Each structure stands twice: as structure tokens, then as C-alpha cells.
Structure 1
Amino acid sequence: MQADEVKEKKKKSKKASEKAAEPAAAAAPAEEAPAKTSSKKRATRSGSNVFAMFTQHQVAEFKEAFQFIDQDKDGFLSKNDIRATFDSLGRICTDSELEGMIKEAPGPINFTMFLTIFGDRTQGTDEEDVILNAFAQFDEGNGLCNEDSLRHSLCTWGEKFSASEADNILAEAPSDGKGNIDIKKFAQLLTRGDEEEGG
């Protein structure tokens, strides 16, 4: 009988040591969990950095633009939303142009993705080229556009500017003194600021 009791005690002590090992094993993943949580926090924080790139006023303006473009109000910008927006601005886009715009985003275009795209652009990718292409419609040769023609377009088409808003915009434009604006310098001024205007 004593041998049986010894065996029983050994079994109990073995079970007790296994149970003690289980909490230790459970504690190990718990120790790893904070690391995972902090990495999740980091990932979330880096995703929200796009909001830190803009002032609250700019984010509000982007939000207003996003809501304007989101014609079906589903929280995502689709090809049809973009088509309807361009149609309302008097510009007809082909399917291939619209597809190209949609493909600029690596996924569905919600507001955060919308901000990310603009954030990438303001970091100097190709915004200047986009502005130069827009101004190319007004190029009258030698990289110049007529200030009056540009003013008329700003006040007539798309989201119309008031006369005073157009005056404020064009007051900053580099002019040749004969009523012509240097398109390249103006695009540089709009994208890079005053410090590189002469470049």
C-alpha cells in the first residue's frame, strides 16, 4: 500500500508541476501580446499619419471635396462618381482616363485613401506635372498664357471663382509685364512655394 501511496504522491506532484508550468506557458504568450498590441498601435499610428500631414482646415476642405465627388454617398469614390463629377464640371472623360484615375489608388478609395493620394502628391511626386498639363490648355506658345483668358476661365468654368478670388490668385502669378503668365514658373510657385520660384 505504501508503494501505491508513493506512486500516487508522485503523480500528484507531477500534475502539480505541469499545472505550474501551464501558467508559465500561458504567461509567455501574454508577455508577447503587449509586443503585438504595440505593433498594432504603431501600424494604426502610421496609417493615421496622413492626417498629420495636413492642418485641420485642410482636412476639412478635403472632406468637403470628397463628399462632393462621392455622388452616391456610399463612402467610396467609384468610376461613376468621378465621371459624374467631371460631367458636372463640363469635362467629359473617357473610360480609360477614369480607369487610370481609379488605378492610382492601391485599393478602394475611401476618405483615408483619398487623403493618402493627396499626401503622396504633395510630397513632390508629380503634382507640378499635373498643374503644367492643366495650364497647357492656355499655353499660347513659348510657355506663356494670357492672364485675361485664364481669369475668364477661372470665373466661368467648373467651381467658379469670384473676381476677387481670381485677382488674389493671379496677383501671385509671374507675369512678363505684357499680360502673359509664365506657366512653368507659376506651376513651380504653386507646388514648391516662393523659395524655388526663380528656379
Structure 2
Amino acid sequence: MPKKQKKRRKKASDNVFDLFTQFQVAQFKEGFQLMDRDKDGKLGPDDLDWTHKHVNLPTTDEKIGIMLADSPTAINFTMLLSMFAEKASGEQDDDDVIIKGFKTFANAEGKIDAPALRVALTCFADKFTKEEADDALEMFQVKDGFLDHALIVKLLTGPAGDDDEEAKEEEE
């Protein structure tokens, strides 16, 4: 039997500007310039406080401090772009991690108890909101209180054979 080939992910560029279109970068730049009220080239507490008030979002000094602490350095335009890219991208688990994760919930017939999965989704690790859990369970097609493990895996990892197509694309 041939050795199973691990799915290769496309490597993200080290240059954050390559992750967005020119139009998107221009939009982010315009937003940054609007938020940078003191025009010092970085976003500070006063800039964020003004921005929140300007768009009618309630905030506190504590929340602003938490936002600023999300950045390892002062938030200049490049750092802001990096933060957006990080938040937008999320990390992807390899298919085998997804398969094993859902397999832990499956019974001998390959069925997953929907209420038990809802509790896990909303109470542990990166917690889902009630709405996110509802959306996920709807997508996973609950039948008689159970989900089909194989269907969930297919929805989250794609149909079998995608590995070969991705490998061919990367070789070209």
C-alpha cells in the first residue's frame, strides 16, 4: 500500500502586504489614518478611545489596555495589518486532527450525540456562542438527536482525493 501523503498547506508569505489586495491595503491605510488622531504613526489609548466613541461603541480603559496588549509592539500600520491578518486567518488543523477530534465523540455506529457535542462546543477550548453552535449543528444535519461522524468529517475536510489535487497544484 502506498504511504499516505500528508496534506501540504500553502505557505503564507512573510510579507503581510502580500496577504491582501492593493485595494484592501488602501482601505486599511485609510482606516488607520482616521484612527491615528495625533498623527504619530501609531495607535495609542487616546486614538482607540476616540475611535470607539466616534462609532458609538462603548469601551473602558481596561478594554483599551487589553486591545493594546494584543500587540507585541506599538501598533503602527504594518502591525495593525498583521493583527488583522492573524485574526482573519485563524489556524487550520490538519485533516487527521479533525478526524480524530470528532471520532472521540462518535459511538460504535459512527453517530455523535448532538446535545453532547453542543455542550463541548460551547463550554470548552475556543468556545462557540449559542448561535455558532446552532449554525454548526444545522450544517451537520442532526437526525433523531444524532450526527453522522462521516458526514461531519467530509464537510470539514473535503471529499477524499483533494490531497492529490492540491499536491499537483503546488508542484506547478
Q: Smaller-chain TM-score range?
A: 0.3 to 0.5
TM value normalised by structure 1: 0.40
The structure with the largest alpha-carbon Rg is 1
TM value normalised by structure 2: 0.46
Q: Going by fraction, where is helix more abundant, 1 or 2?
A: 1
